[in-house]
């Protein structure tokens, strides 16, 4: 009875957590990016290959051939994955032909292996600022996803839904609104700045507001929060009231 309850509780948990964070950490795009990093390391390591001795014509010919040779590629591929890294080994096995194709045919035209392999060929990554199966721009645009105030779900991968997870100061679907306890220090259609520190706010605007709180206090009931007072001070400032610049 107890075991059955425990098992069904566990199953319920599993159902409610379809994508645990450990799974997103090992997305195919991460695997591919790591693989490309290892490829570059392999290129570096094998470029140091030294056949020793003087540079005879024969050696120079052999060395320059080695640079683009299958031997070098095999050496690099052998070290692409740790033997314990299952996802990496599967990826290399499945796509070894494409890596070879790049090495022998595409390298000159597409020097960026990650872009050619991970984004365009096996399609596990997207250009940064885009997400999902078709690499659609994140909310707020690919240049500044979430208006620079948050993280776009699936950014740079073929996963996610492009929604924004805002930094603490921001809220709303586009991360343009200020979260509770923070107030706006500037905003237009594309940029929004929120701060939780009134001193920073007034210093930013070149005004240390000493009297405004007292003045506002005279006109308003005390139930208003500090955030509200600052908003009102900001309004007075914009109306050039009370000498606030």
Least distance between ligand NAG and beta carbon 191 (Å): 4
Q: Is-contact 49 64, C-beta < 8 A? A: no
Least distance between ligand NAG and beta carbon 237 (Å): 17
Task: Write the binding mask 133 to 172 for ligand NAG: x where contact by CB under 6 A, - elsewhere.
Answer: ----------------------------------------
Least distance between ligand NAG and beta carbon 147 (Å): 10
Q: How many residues touch ligand NAG (CB under 6 A)?
A: 4
Q: How far is it, in rounded angstroms, from Cα 57 to Cα 140?
A: 58
Q: Is-contact 138 152, C-beta < 8 A? A: yes
Q: In the structure encoding, which two tokens stand for residue 187, read together?
A: 């905003």
Q: Which range in 4-12, 62-70, 82-90, 185-193 contacts ligand NAG by CB under 6 A?
A: 185-193
* Near ligand NAG by CB under 6 A: residue from 55, 188, 238, 239: 188
Backbone angles phi, psi at 242, to 5 degrees: 55, 25
Q: Which range in 68-76, 99-107, 186-194, 222-230 contacts ligand NAG by CB under 6 A?
A: 186-194
Least distance between ligand NAG and beta carbon 232 (Å): 23
Distances (CA, A) of 204 to 178, 185, 239: 17, 8, 18
The verdict on 180 binding ligand NAG (CB under 6 A) reads no
Q: Which range in 117-125, 131-139, 157-165, 187-195 contacts ligand NAG by CB under 6 A?
A: 187-195
Least distance between ligand NAG and beta carbon 202 (Å): 18
Task: Give the DSSP letter string of 206-244.
Answer: T---SSHHHHHHHHS-TTS-HHHHHHHHHHHHHTT-TT-
Task: Write the binding mask 189 to 208 for ligand NAG: x where contact by CB under 6 A, - elsewhere.
Answer: xxx-----------------
Q: Give, in degrees to the nearest 5, the angle at Cα 140 between 137 and 144.
A: 85
Q: How far is it, in rounded angstroms, from Cα 71 to Cα 88?
A: 21
List residues binding ligand NAG (CB under 6 A). 188-191
């Amino acid at each position: 009875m107890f075991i059955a309850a425990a098992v069904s509780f566990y199953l319920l948990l599993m159902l409610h957590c379809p994508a645990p964070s450990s799974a997103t950490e090992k997305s195919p795009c991460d695997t591919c990016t790591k693989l490309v990093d290892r490829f570059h390391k392999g290129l570096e390591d094998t470029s140091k290959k030294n056949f020793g001795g003087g540079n005879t014509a024969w050696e120079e010919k052999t060395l320059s051939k080695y640079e683009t040779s299958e031997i070098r590629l095999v050496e690099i591929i052998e070290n692409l994955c740790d033997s314990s890294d299952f996802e990496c080994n599967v990826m290399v096995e499945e796509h070894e032909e494409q890596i070879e194709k790049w090495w022998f045919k595409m390298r000159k035209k597409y020097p960026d292996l990650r872009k050619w392999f991970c984004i365009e060929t096996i399609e596990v990554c997207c250009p940064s600022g885009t997400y999902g199966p078709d690499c659609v721009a994140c909310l707020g645009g690919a240049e500044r996803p979430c208006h620079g105030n948050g993280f776009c779900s699936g950014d740079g991968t073929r996963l996610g839904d492009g929604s924004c997870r805002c930094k603490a100061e921001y809220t709303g679907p586009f991360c343009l609104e200020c979260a509770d306890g923070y107030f706006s220090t500037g905003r237009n259609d594309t940029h929004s700045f929120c701060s939780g520190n009134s001193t920073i706010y007034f210093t930013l605007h070149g005004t240390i507001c000493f009297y405004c709180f007292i003045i506002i206090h005279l006109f308003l009931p005390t139930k208003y929060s500090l955030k509200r007072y600052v908003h009102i001070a900001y309004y007075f400032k914009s109306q050039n009231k009370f000498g606030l610049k």
